[in-house]
Structure formats: C-alpha cells, structure tokens
Structure 1
Amino acid sequence: MGRSALLVLLILALVSWATWVVHADEAELLCACENIKGSCENATCKGDVCFYSWVNMYQERGCFSNEYRLENCGSSFEGFYINCCSTKLCNLRTTLPPVQGTEPPERNLELWIAVPLALLFMAAVALCGLMLWLRSKRTHCRLLGHEEGRDVTMVKVPSGEDPTYGELFDEFCTSGSGTGLPYLVQRTMARQISLAECVGKGRYGEVWRGTWMGESVAVKIFSSRDEQSWFRETEIYNTVQLRHDNILGFIASDMTSKNSSTQLWLITHFHELGSLYDVLQYSTLDPDSCLQMCLSVACGLVHLHTEIFSSQGKPAIAHRDLKSRNVLVKRNRQCCIADLGLAVIHSQSSDDLNVGNNPRVGTKRYMAPEVLDETIRVDMFESYKQTDIWALGLVFWEITRRTIVNGIVEEYQPPFFDMVPSDPSFEEMKKVVCVDQQRPSLHNRMHSHPILSTIVKIMKECWSQCPAARLTALRVKKTLSKLDQEHDYAIDKIKQDL
C-alpha cells in the first residue's frame, strides 16, 4: 500500500513539472525582431509583449517583459508611434497608420496625468532650492562686504592697484576652473557691455575700453579675416587652466551683430597703462623696476610652458608671438602676457600637438633663426618653446634699454632697429639673423650694474643660434628670482649698516 501511494505521488510530481515547463514556454511570446543594433537572433525574440515602433522615420520591431509594458506602450508624442500586441508574431506586419497623429492602442490616462504633475513638482522643488541658495549667497556677500567696509552693490576700480575682478566672478558663480565666466553667461556678455573708447588698432582689429557692472574691461574686436585667432584664443581660454597673475585675465568670449555685420569679441581684464611697448615709449626704469618687469614676464612664460598634471590640469602652451606689444603692464608695474591667437598646445599624456589652423604667422622682427631659415622642427613642441625664449631675450633687451644706469638711458627702439627698416621683410630679417648672425647691440653701462649685467648674460643665452642651447623659461625665472632675493638682501644689509 505504501509503495502504491509513493508511485502516485511521483506521477503527480512529474505531471506538475511538465505542465510548468509547457506554460513557461508558452509565457515566452515569439515576436518579430528588427533593429540596427544587431541584437536580433533569426529575426525573432521572445518576451511577454511584442511591439512595433516608429521614431523620426526609423522603425523597429522587438519584444519586452510585462514590467516595461506600461511605460513603453503608454507613450506617445510628435514624431513617435508605438504599437504593442500579445499574440505570436503579431508585430510582423504592423506598419505606421496612414495618419501620423493616430493614438497608440494601449494608452494609460493616469500615466499622462501623473508624469507631467511629477515633473512640475520636481521643477518647483528645484526652483525653490535655487532661490534659497541664491538668497544665502547674496546674504553672505553682503555680510562680507560690511566686514570689509565696502559697498558690494557696485564694484569700483581701486585707486592704487589693478582692478579686482574677483567680486564679478563670485557674482556669477564660476566653477573655479580659472577660465573665465561660465559658458552660458559668456553668450550674453556683449549685450551687457557699453563700449567707451577705442584704445588700440592693429591688423587683427580693434581694442576698446568697455564698462561692465561698473568695472572697466578690455574688448578685443577681431576683424573677419582674423576669425581663426578669435576661435583659437576662445578655445584655449575656455579649455585650459590659465588663471595666473602674469597671464592676461580672461572674462568671456562672445559673438554679436553690429551694423548688419558679425563682430567677434574677446573680453579680458583692462589695464589702462597699455602694452609694454606703450609704457617704454614714455617711461624710464630703475634697475629694480627693470628686474621686476623681466621676472614677471618670465613667470608668465613659465606658466604657459608648464604642463600641470591633475584632475583639472593644463597642457603645455607655447605662445609663438611673444613681443612687447603682446605684454600688458599693470598699475603695480607687473607684466602679463596677452594674445594667444597663435598658441600651440601639447599634452604629454596623449603626446598630442595641437597647432591649430590659423594662417597668421608671428611678427618677423621677433622670429628666431630656425623660423626664418625654415629649419624648425614643426612636429616637436620643444621647438616652439625655444622660439619663445628667443623672443623673450628681445623683450628683455627692450626693457633694459630704457633702464637708467649711471644717469644714462637710451630712447626706445625696437629690436634690430639699426639693421632693418621699420617694417622688415622675411628675407631682410633672415639675412641679419641667420646669414650675418647679428644680435641687438648692448650699451656699456649695462655691464656696470649687477642686475643689468645678469640680465645681459640671460639675453645672450636666449639668443643662441642653436635652439637646444637656449635657456628654458624656468631657468630664466630661477636666475632672476635669485637675483631679486640677493638684491633685497643687499638693500636690507645697507639699511642695517646705516
């Protein structure tokens, strides 16, 4: 009796298992499958629901499980149509209805109401959060302004030092990347700036002094033929960590329409003293000021040439058009390097050399010998850095020429002024620099002062005919920094002796 009962139970178990297997197979509905992803096997798939969809002229057939039925089959909007069905290969011959506005067959009214309400609720919560955050930020700034005894409602230019643009950047919540205002804010800058006066003109276009939020800013308006320079500077400033005391501060880049023509704007910090070229026309320097100017230019060039390895690092950059006109002077007589329209970018990690596609060339008077005789290795980043060092030596020469030593100072002249005409040709510069291997003349007085004699040695090494023999920007900076420290120590010692 016991064996018969056991046999019956075993038979019942087998029947139950077979029934489950049959139903399990039946649960997987066979559907037609067609897509560009290559996920179909034998043009079929198995699931709980078959579907046919049409999205912007692209159709797809396939299947999915019941858990996705509601959200997929209940969707409909312009340019999108889906048809769901639940019988074998029911989506094989389904096509788009004659009228594209046809409602999908399975539509859930509750879903159409719930989704917009949920989105509206989330948007309201986000808006309230943003308003609370802005209020707390404004309160913090107001408290900070009261603590420092200043009015933060309008940023004013300080009388003693350079304009401080920090408050303006705080107002617009920059990301800390050091590349100017957020991109979307930049897109509206031209409408917020009032142009006051034209402060310079050149082949690239014009430079204007403008006002923005009570602060003076420089607006460089590019001519249409120099469009690539605007694109290049915008690209570099927006993608690279360039915030440095000795690099011209970038605020924004914008495109605007004036008098039925498109203007390309580059908005930067404004320095009322103008370029180093302008300052040297009417100002003379003492040796200490000469050292500070040379050191500040070297510091800016070191920052450009140096690649920073970090999560928000910067690639190495070579300027390619360093000259006194592209160096601006701040109120404290520190210099900052400007005009990156010809810059070259290099990243060691990817070994990528980005020279851009700007057809413009550098200034012939400041071109290194290897550029003039066309022997430069254009595929090596070091080559471009070495041409910057050549130009750096010429800028130092311009500064030292206007430095008073023993009551003697020379009038301003550009490099090679006594060897080539005012606008020299490529061939004229090549003959002087490459064939004759001449260098700017140096007055005897420069050898009688420790600061100027050291700078003269640096200049001579920057002018080496062999590019690899020239100093690096970092070596120039370290030598001048050491000279600056020794000079400060000597002055302190003299004061103590007195």
Structure 2
Amino acid sequence: MRIRHVVFCLLALVYGAETSDDDLDERTNIFIRDKLIPALKLAEVTKVNFTRLHLCHCSREVGCNARTTGWVPGIEFLNETDRSFYENTCYTDGSCYQSARPSPEISHFGCMDEKSVTDETEFHDTAAKVCTNNTKDPHATVWICCDKGNFCANETIIHLAPGPQQSSTWLILTILALLTFIVLLGIAIFLTRKSWEAKFDWYIRFKPKPGDPLRETENNVPMVTMGDGAGSSVPEVAPIEQQGSTMSTSAGNSFPPGIMPNNMKDMLDVLEETSGSGMGPTTLHKLTIGGQIRLTGRVGSGRFGNVSRGDYRGEAVAVKVFNALDEPAFHKETEIFETRMLRHPNVLRYIGSDRVDTGFVTELWLVTEYHPSGSLHDFLLENTVNIETYYNLMRSTASGLAFLHNQIGGSKESNKPAMAHRDIKSKNIMVKNDLTCAIGDLGLSLSKPEDAASDIIANENYKCGTRYLAPEILNSTMQFTVFESYQCADVYSFSLVMWETLCRCEDGDVLPREAATVIPYIEWTDRDPQDAQMFDVVCTRRLRPTENPLWKDHPEMKHIMEIIKTCWNGNPSARFTSYICRKRMDERQQLLLDKKAKAVAQTAGVTVQDRKILGPQKPKDESPANGAPRIVQKEIDREDEQENWRETAKTPNGHISSNDDSSRPLLG
C-alpha cells in the first residue's frame, strides 16, 4: 500500500512539473499575443517579425539592460506587473543564446535578432557573429544559439572541459619553482658575499688602465720589451741606490718612484682628501664610531641604562648604553645634544652616537666626554671643599644652567633655542679636573618652540628626581603651557644642589656635615620617597633643608644662604633666574679674591725692619678683671651648637633625627 502511494506521489510531481512548464509557456504566448505585440505596435517598432516573436532569458548588465533593444521592461506601454515579472527577459525574432567562459566560469544569456541588429554593446556584436558562425572565439568561450521556443537557451547546461584549470595549476607550480630558485640564489650570494665583494673591490681599484706599463707579478717592476722583434720582455731593474725606497708595507709605497699606475694614484688622492668613503671631506660618521671605541669598565647606571668608560682614539670617553626598548629616550637625548650651538664648557660635551650589535642584542650608544671625578654627588661623598672651591663648583654649574635657559639668536642655521633641563640634581652634574662642573643627562630636557603659538610638548606627569621636584610640580599647580615655569623649577632644584655642596664646605670654625646625611629632606623622608611624602613635607608643612647655625655668622656662607633661600621659595616668580644666581656668585667670588689679594699685599708690606722698629708685641689680655674667660666660653658654646647639627642620630628605618626637633631652625 505504501509503495503505491510513493509511486503516485512521484507521478504527481512529474506531471505537476510538466504542467507547470506548459502553463508558463502558454502564459508567455498569451503575453506575447495580447500584450507584447500591441505594445510594440504602439511604440512603432517595425524592425521585428511579429510572427516569429518569442522571449529569452537575459543576464543583467551584459545582454539585458535599458540599452538593449529587446528588453521587455523597457517597453513603456506595459504595466508595472508585467515589467516586474519579465524583469530579466528580452524579446527577439531570431535566437536565444547562452555563453560560458572558463577560469573563472561565467555564463551569460541574451537575445539575438534575426538580422543581427543589436544595440551598441560590443558583447552583442560578438554574440551575433558567433551564432552565425562568422568568427571563432579566441577566449575558448562555448556558445549555444536556439530559436525553437521561449527560453530555449536555458534548457541546456554547458559543462566546460578541465583543460584550462590544469594549465593554471602548472602555471602556479612554475611560479613557485621560480620563487624557490630565487630564494636559494639569494641565500648563496649572501653566504659568499665577503669573498666576491673582496674580489670585485680589488678588480675595481687595481684593474690596469690603458697606458700603464706591464709588470712582473713577483717583483712588481715594469717589463721592458727587447729590440730583437721577438716580443720578449725582461724586468727593468732600478739602480741599487733607488731600490732601498721600494717598500711593501703600504699601498702607497709598493711601487718604485715614477712608475706608479694611474689608477693607484687616483685612489691615493681620494684617500688623502676624504675619510675613506670617497664621499667628501674627513668627517666623523656616527655609524662607525661604535667600532672605534673599546669599553674598559662600567662606572655607573642611570634611568635608561648603564654608563661605561671607553677609549676612543686615545681619549677617555663615557658611553651611555641604552636598552633597545628605550630607543625613544635615546633619540630624544641625541636630538637635544645635537641642538645647534650647544657648546659650552659647563655643559657635558657630546661626541657622537651609534647603534651597536653585540651579537645577542642591539645596544644604543651615546658617547660624551669622560670625567674621572664622577658626578658632584660622588665627589662630595669622598671630599670636603673650602669656600673658594665651593664658588668654582656652583658658579660653573649656574653658568651652564644659564646657558641652557637663555636663547642665542642668529640665523636659522646658527641659533640656540631656550631650554629647560627638568632633571637638575647632584648626580647629573659632572666634576671636571679643574674643579668646575658640567651639566649632563639631557634626556628630559625641553626646548622652547620657535613659534610662540605652538604648544609645548612635554610630559606633565614626569616625576624623575622626586626629591628635587619643585613645590608647584608636587601640588600640580605648575603652568605647563608656560615655558618659563620649567626654568623656575630648574632653579629650585639647583638651590638644593647648592645646599648639598655647602653642607660639605669646611672653612674656619665651620665644619662639614657627614657625607651620608647630605641629602635634601632626609630628616623627614625615606631614602626613596614617594610623591605623597614629598608633597606633605614640601607643600603642606612647607619645610626646607636644615641650616647650620654657624653659616649665618660666616662672612661668605650667609650670603650664599640668602641666594639659596630665594631660589627655593615656594612662589616660582619670586626666585632668582639662573643668570642672576651666576651673577651674584660672580660678585661674591670676586670680592673674596680681592680681599685675599689685599691681605697678601698688606702682609708683604710689613718688612723685617718694620718689625724690629715695632719691637715685640705683647698679647692683649682679653679676660675681664674678674678673670672670667667670656670669649673662650662663647667659642665653646658655638662648637657645641655646631656639633649638635653635625652629629644626628640614625634610626633603623633610615631616618635622620635629632634629640630636639623644636630647636632645629626651619626655613620657609
């Protein structure tokens, strides 16, 4: 029973499909008779044979569009329903066609009139000629043309031969083989490049030129042709007194005088006038400086890498080695050092930079001059200074800072913009052999834009050297768009450096402070303070580094403290500029030198004869009548007061504190 039902359903489907095709063909014929032909007559179409008219399926934008003569939707006298139903349909009194093209496979459908009268598209012209066997298709396209009924070209499916696909496969394999050969050839050339580069270079330099005499290879002397016509030649031997000048230790002396080839002369002339590359006058190329430096040991470490001592052409240099990850910092500091006219005795001298491949990693080298005394911080740890040395150190530092801050005008090629260092501290100041200083580490430096309307490109949240940060940076009140604000912050940091150096100054009754305690704000902060801790000490409590009580009685130190107090003022606009700091110390240093010169002159004016006339001088009795040694007791009190300032007690966590904090004078 079930088998009968299945057979019945299959027969019904087949019959229904045939009936559907018949209904579509009948509907199409009715449409042609009742609607299409009257519409064409109304449109005054006369080039079509209405008795043979039938419909074909057409492909959009190829053989079926508004430009096609037989496009059904293009007839204006049809209603919208018929136009929508026959959207991809064309009418013709000739043939329906189907074309298929391989790689990639594309099939097209369309109409071809009986007289091959088509629109202006080149595709229809080609189809008309192919269907009438007037030409052969050069693209191996397969065509089907029929006129037996409506949509007859759709009844056949074109199957293309696999030949073109196989040919494309062979083409891909050929391309891959060619690429493999090119890669292997490149690898072989790379592995053998040194040998053939040397041979090619030798050939270019030493190939004989027309007019050069022939030479005997072993003795390197010219050959002289004999006059017997046999073409034989023997070496021409120079006199004994001239043979001693023939040397083989250099290319310039490997030929006897007077017979050097022309190409050798040209090469030696080029080498004498250039650095060896032949591209111009002798210059120091940054890409080759790394190969001429021999590192002899590490001397310190910084924010972005290590600092090593090196030897470059007999001169000791400092090599700052950056990690590959810190390349932006390397380029930034190199750019600052290469600023035009950045040459000053109190700014660290820049020599060059290079990228060095060590075999494992790529290092970035920044080469500067080397100072054996190290930084000012290291120098003060091991040495104390007198007042003359103090002026030399601080006056030179102020001079270098003023040079950075000031703008040097000139032409576009010869000027220096105003700059701010932004990281002034004793570890970034080098001590030279003449006990003057040079400012280094310009990695955070900032140049003032040439255009006043340009924005200042800087990191507003930089916190390098937290202990030396100005109050306006700690409390975020600094005007970051005003360039002079950065210079005021430099002056504040410089005042702390002046205080550090003054703590290690020894002159007369003033004794130096212990080196381990000469750190700004160490009494109230940790060794490595956080921003919040420095904000509390500097901004909230308004504390400043402690002052030795004996400084206010010293004839020079009291004036130095006046400069320091002005420079670490909480108001940036109330601070001295770096130029005024240098000028004030210049004046005090000159007065000190004049005073000493006058004292020496007065001492030299007292002759031995004058001393005989004056006779022996009795010491004055400074004690009062009652015998109380007031002056001696005053000196003892001063020494005790200074000892209390110097001898501070260390707590286990690294803090420095005294027995009585209320008795310590606080500034600010």
Q: Structure 2 length normalisation: TM-score?
A: 0.47
What's 1:337 paired with? 439
What's 2:357 paired with? 257
CA distance in 1: counterparts of 2:295 and 2:512, whole angstroms:
38
- Please tell me the root mean square deviation across aligned C-alpha atoms, in Å: 2.4
Q: Verify: 1:272 aligned to 2:375, yes or no.
A: no
Secondary structure of 2:544's counterpart equals: coil
Q: Higher relative contact order by CA 8 Å / sep ≥ 6: 1 or 2? A: 1
CA pair 455-127 structure 1, distance change in 2 beyond 3 A: farther
> 1:409 aligned to 496, 512, 517, which one?
512
Q: Verify: 1:459 aligned to 2:564, yes or no.
A: yes
Secondary structure of 1:221's counterpart equals: strand
CA pair 337-282 structure 1, distance change in 2 beyond 3 A: same
What's 1:80 paired with? none
CA pair 126-370 structure 1, distance change in 2 beyond 3 A: farther
CA distance in 1: counterparts of 2:274 and 2:410, whole angstroms:
30
CA pair 132-198 structure 1, distance change in 2 beyond 3 A: closer
Structure 1, 344-353 or 452-461: larger mean CA deviation: 344-353
C-alpha contact (below 8 Å) 2:510/2:551 kept by paired residues: no
- Shift of residue 173 of structure 1? 5.6
CA distance in 2: counterparts of 1:360 and 1:124, whole angstroms:
59
CA distance in 1: counterparts of 2:282 and 2:405, whole angstroms:
29
What's 1:369 paired with? 471
Structure number with bigger Rg: 2
- Shift of residue 363 of structure 1? 0.7
User: After superposition, where does 1:111-122 map in structure 2 within 5 Å?
Assistant: none
- Shift of residue 191 of structure 1? 1.1
> 1:200 aligned to 297, 300, 312, which one?
300
What amino acid does structure 2 have at the position aligned with 1:447? K
Secondary structure of 1:423's counterpart equals: coil
Q: Verify: 1:471 aligned to 2:576, yes or no.
A: yes
C-alpha contact (below 8 Å) 1:222/1:263 kept by paired residues: yes
CA pair 210-132 structure 1, distance change in 2 beyond 3 A: closer
What's 2:286 paired with? 186
User: After superposition, where does 1:47-446 map in structure 2 within 5 Å?
Assistant: 133=273, 182=284, 185-311=285-411, 312-348=414-450, 350=452, 352=454, 354-355=456-457, 361-405=463-507, 406-412=509-515, 413-446=518-551
CA pair 124-386 structure 1, distance change in 2 beyond 3 A: farther
Q: Verify: 1:494 aligned to 2:594, yes or no.
A: no
Structure 1, 324-333 or 446-455: larger mean CA deviation: 446-455
Secondary structure of 2:556's counterpart equals: helix
Q: Deviations over 1:423-460 (max 9, x none)?
A: 00000000000101100001012222222211111110
CA distance in 1: counterparts of 2:346 and 2:458, whole angstroms:
24
- Shift of residue 296 of structure 1? 0.6
Question: Tell me, which stretches of 5 or more residues in structure 1 are unaligned?
Answer: 1-122, 136-171, 175-181
Question: Tell me, which stretches of 5 or more residues in structure 2 are unaligned?
Answer: 1-262, 276-280, 604-668
Secondary structure of 1:219's counterpart equals: strand
C-alpha contact (below 8 Å) 1:194/1:210 kept by paired residues: yes
What amino acid does structure 1 have at the position aligned with 2:490? D
C-alpha contact (below 8 Å) 1:408/1:445 kept by paired residues: no
CA distance in 1: counterparts of 2:351 and 2:458, whole angstroms:
22
CA pair 338-353 structure 1, distance change in 2 beyond 3 A: farther
Corresponding pairs, count:
331
CA pair 374-358 structure 1, distance change in 2 beyond 3 A: closer
CA pair 418-226 structure 1, distance change in 2 beyond 3 A: farther
What's 1:94 paired with? none
Structure 1, 359-368 or 203-212: larger mean CA deviation: 359-368
- Shift of residue 490 of structure 1? 0.8
Secondary structure of 1:239's counterpart equals: coil
What's 2:250 paired with? none
What's 1:158 paired with? none
Identity %: 35
CA distance in 2: counterparts of 1:354 and 1:342, whole angstroms:
13
Structure 1, 125-134 or 388-397: larger mean CA deviation: 125-134
CA distance in 2: counterparts of 1:296 and 1:411, whole angstroms:
24
